[in-house]
Amino acid sequence: MASYSLTINNKTYNVEIKGETTLLWVLREHLGLTGTKYGCGIALCGSCTVHLDGKPVRSCTIPLRALKKDQKITTIEGLSQNGDHKIQKAWIEAQAPQCGYCQSGQIMQAAALLAKNPNPTREEIKTYMNGNLCRCGTYLRIVKAIEIAAGKTSANT
Amino acid sequence: MNKALSRREFLKTSGGVALLIGVSGILPQMISCKNKKEAQEIIEKHSLSAWVQLTNDGRVIIYNPAAELGQGSMTSLPAIFAEEMDADWSTVSVEFSPQVSAIYGSDKWSPNNKVMLTAGSRITYGYYSIMRQAGAQARYILMHSAAQLWKTPMKELSTTNGAVIDYQDGRSISYGELVPHLVMPEKLPEFSESEFKNPKNYRFIGIDQPRVDIPEKVMGTTRFAIDIKLPEMLYGVLERGKVHGASPKLNNESKILALEGVLKLVRFDYAIGIIAETLEQALAAKKLLDITWSEAPSSRFNSQECYKKYGKIATDQTTGKVIVNKGDIGSAIKSAYKKFTVDFKNDYVYHAQMEPLNAVVQVGKDGKSAEVWVGSQQGFDSKLGIPNYLGIPAENVKINLQYLGGGFGRRSMTDFVLEGTGLAREIAPRPVKLIWTREDDVSYGAYRPLTLQRLTAATDAQGHITGFSHCVVGDGGNLVASGIRIDYYDIPNKFAEWREVSEGIRLKHWRSVGHAPNKFAIECMIDEIATYFRKDPADLRRRLLAKSPRGLATLEKAMAISDWGSTIDVDRAKGIAFLERSGTFSTGVCEISVNSTTGKIKVHNFWSASDAGIVIQPDNVKAQMEGGILMGISSVLKEQLTVVNGQIQQSNFNDYEILRMADIPDNIETAIIESHEPPRGVGESGTPLVACAIANAFLKLTGKPLRHLPFSPERVLNVLNT
């Protein structure tokens, strides 16, 4: 057991836990931040995507002991105050989710994309989002939502 | 007083619909139940059992009896109800109904037996009449109450957007304002078709409403069963064999029990269960289990070698279970100008729903009750088999249905619910969250069966199909036989049969069930015939659909929107397919290219046209077709689950790959044919169009047939090089 102080969504959380425990289990099962999802445990589906100092990472393969002090973690719960991040609004406009399980990860990945590249081409979107699986088949609407958020299109086109 | 109360609480009408007014907040509740006593008991147990609840502040809560796994019923069923109730949609919220099939079931699964089962794309079909009737009755109560309040004859009243209006006096009262004045009519009418709202006044049916579940899904606050946390909750995992049905012998029990946080080991016939304080402790212990596995019926099974045996079974003179026998197939084949015999094959595929299976279960201290939080597609037993498993009465089991992170048929099985119950029983009354890892989910999955299909067709000299025979060899009954019927095709002699084999591999419905493999075989056969006679495959289908006007209309529409027959890039080709699934007729057209060096097929465009009867939410139908087609492309181009000496060879998304964004088509266009027929299913209509449309485009492009699913690059190269 070790003590960890984590900065998540601008709040400080203290946990007593083994350093090999992954960030995903800490978020979900210890801190109750269940918006971040478990899908594969080997960083191949992207359901567990969170931001570490603004960059998208797969929380299922990050043991707590690998985190550096003062690194800022952002989860879907901290992406916006009231679900009104432009990506979230575009997601609703495109009626993107179906079952919704992968969507937190998709949204965190897409938010990171637009923060880095506000005007991505369709190919850049596909490349950047390629690590996030969706079994319901919402990919086309995800592309559309990202293009809406980037101001390239609207839901009616 | 007693008499008045009893009337207010419970009224029965000829149709077996009872009506209840609750005590606080005045809750008009409608309950369909044949057995008055049973209904009364249920009402006492679930004080909010109802289709709708009106609150004093004007909110309208509509209860959705279906599971929500992404298909949109959480919005479309309440939309049907709200249409007849004439509700103000801005006041509507939706909640899951209790899992009590006597009240919330539909008899569209089996006559005279109410069932809550979200499968087979039957929810809209199964609940359309129920929601209309209940909505119209709710409106009737509101109008009756306003008539009493105003002392006006009811016939002078009407409703508009959540209010009762009196045209005579120009007054109106909102449904919310009516709550303190609600009175039950002596008799609640059963409404007939002509008494329902005129479709030209529809505000919800056929008109898109934003899906009610989406805002929470983009905020990450939707609660799936895997997100549940209860006080004192423990964690459970199971180690199951790589060979289905093998029994475990644990060699290091004391070592495992000594591990930090491990509380209990639980033996199952096919697994060892671990209960621990935390999930990470449970998972760590699972990795350290030393188990010797027994032999099982599937121990010698090899999924890539069995086709030879299946071919022999198809050749055997003994027929299997005959499903279709129309005309005289034997004579048709004997007298044929040209006879075609072709074998098609398909490997196993896995569901890969994004939320791995899980359940939270709490068993009462005395073992006589259970409460469950689960994402389930429900079942013929809406208590998911738990009463039988624990040997307790059904009313002692409470199911709290959560949102499902995908189902695709896998969550209509209850294995994971019973496993969770088996763990929780051993440590009652502490609740246990059972989680399957992705590896568990893949290797102890229940797959779409592997089959070999032998098709034989007879034609005359003009290439008209005179006989069509279909033999499917595989395991699982309807799992392999669904979709084998081609009633819509005008062919005088038809024969279809299923020949059973059993390999001991776990099997389950997978989106569209047998339709995807069977329609693949049927539709490819038609294109092989068209190609031989140098006919346009769309023209050949036009002739076959001559007596199916609804089917033909989808064909014409799909041809129009895909610009069928126009010259395109020489490196690309289009393929077409027609089918019926869940009562919906669909034609699909896809456009592909092939990389002849890598063998990789790229789908550029997919067009479809469907007649699904009355469409409740058009954009949701499009979303279902898009999703179904993408899942189809995934399964057809990538997915393959293999078995060697009984051992499942795949374990996660590294070796069981599903479609990623880089490989999606540029565009999927969905056309909906206008219809006044009752609504039918669309959730599974897109998926089975894909294999045949791609193979038919490939045949057009290369002159070579693809006859074995999936069309992996290696297989495609093999076909190109032969």
Q: What is chain B's mean pLDDT, rounded?
A: 92
**Cα B690 from Cα B629, distance rounded (Å):** 6
**Cα B288 from Cα B256, distance rounded (Å):** 7
A101–chain B nearest CA distance, Å: 5
**B97-147 pLDDT, tens digit each:** 888 888 889 999 888 888 999 999 999 999 999 999 989 988 998 999 999
B242–chain A nearest CA distance, Å: 18
Going by pLDDT thresholds of 50, 70 and 90, the confidence category of residue B179 is confident
**B427-460 pLDDT, tens digit each:** 999 999 999 999 999 999 999 999 999 999 999 9
B64–chain A nearest CA distance, Å: 16
A14–chain B nearest CA distance, Å: 17
Q: In the predicted model, is pLDDT for residue B28 greater than 60?
A: no
Region B18-22: mean pLDDT is 42
**Cα A124 from Cα A152, distance rounded (Å):** 14
Q: In the predicted model, is pLDDT for residue B13 greater than 70?
A: no
Residue in chain A nearest B511 by alpha carbon: A136
Residue B438 and residue A107: Cβ atoms within 8 Å? Answer: no
**A10-20 pLDDT, tens digit each:** 999 999 999 99
Instruction: List the domains of chain A with CATH numbers.
Output: 2-78 (3.10.20.30), 86-149 (1.10.150.120)
Region B13-19: mean pLDDT is 36
Residue A137 and residue B278: Cβ atoms within 8 Å? Answer: no
pLDDT at B15: 33
Contact map slice: A 110-139 vs B, CB within 8 A: 125-127, 129-139
- The answer to whether B281 touches B235, Cβ cutoff 8 Å, is yes
* Most B CBs within 10 Å, among A93, A98, A133, to test the B interface: A98
Asked if A100 reaches chain B (Cβ–Cβ under 8 Å), the answer is: yes
More confident site: B70 or B41: B70
pLDDT at B188: 76
Beta B493-500 vs B321-326: how paired, if at all? Answer: antiparallel
Asked if A141 reaches chain B (Cβ–Cβ under 8 Å), the answer is: yes
Residue in chain B nearest A104 by alpha carbon: B220
Question: Which among B217, B438, B634 is the nearest to A41, CB-wise?
Answer: B438
Region B523-538: mean pLDDT is 98
* SS3 assignment, position B42: helix
* Most A CBs within 10 Å, among B237, B354, B357, B657, to test the A interface: B354
> Cis before residue B710, ω within 30 degrees of 0?
yes
Q: In the predicted model, is pLDDT for residue B34 greater than 60?
A: no
**B683-716 pLDDT, tens digit each:** 999 999 999 999 999 999 999 999 999 999 999 9
Question: Which among A21, A25, A47 is the nearest to B354, CB-wise?
Answer: A47
- Name chain B contacts of A35, Cβ cutoff 8 Å: 219-221
pTM listed for this prediction: 0.95
pLDDT at B39: 54
Q: Which of B10-24, B31-45, B338-352 has the highest mean pLDDT?
A: B338-352
Instruction: List the domains of chain B with CATH numbers.
Output: 2-217 (3.30.365.10), 225-296+357-435 (3.30.365.10), 306-349+447-720 (3.30.365.10)
pLDDT at B17: 38
Partnered with residue B113 across adjacent β-strands are B110
Q: What is the DSSP string of B246-267?
A: PPEEES-HHHHHTSTTEEEEEE
Residue A99 and residue B70: Cβ atoms within 8 Å? Answer: yes
**A104-132 pLDDT, tens digit each:** 999 999 999 999 999 999 999 999 999 99
Q: In the predicted model, is pLDDT for residue B19 greater than 60?
A: no
Q: In the predicted model, is pLDDT for residue B259 greater than 60?
A: yes
Q: What is the 3-state secondary structure (H, E, C) of A58-78?
A: EHHHCEHHHCCCCCEEECHHH
Residue B653 and residue A45: Cβ atoms within 8 Å? Answer: yes
**B543-586 pLDDT, tens digit each:** 999 999 999 999 999 999 999 998 778 899 999 999 999 999 99
pLDDT at B6: 37
Going by pLDDT thresholds of 50, 70 and 90, the confidence category of residue B400 is very high
Residue A101 and residue B280: Cβ atoms within 8 Å? Answer: no
- Name chain A contacts of B626, Cβ cutoff 8 Å: 137-138, 140-141
Asked if A40 reaches chain B (Cβ–Cβ under 8 Å), the answer is: yes
**B583-616 pLDDT, tens digit each:** 999 999 999 999 999 999 999 999 999 999 999 9
At B567, phi and psi to the nearest 5? -75, 135
At B517, phi and psi to the nearest 5? -65, -40
Find the range with the poorest average confidence among A86-100, B37-51, B402-416: B37-51
**Cα B410 from Cα B448, distance rounded (Å):** 10
pLDDT at B36: 53
Residue B218 and residue A92: Cβ atoms within 8 Å? Answer: yes
- Name chain B contacts of A137, Cβ cutoff 8 Å: 626-631, 634, 659
- Name chain B contacts of A120, Cβ cutoff 8 Å: none
**Cα B188 from Cα B720, distance rounded (Å):** 68
Count residue pairs from A and B with Cβ separation < 8 A.
175
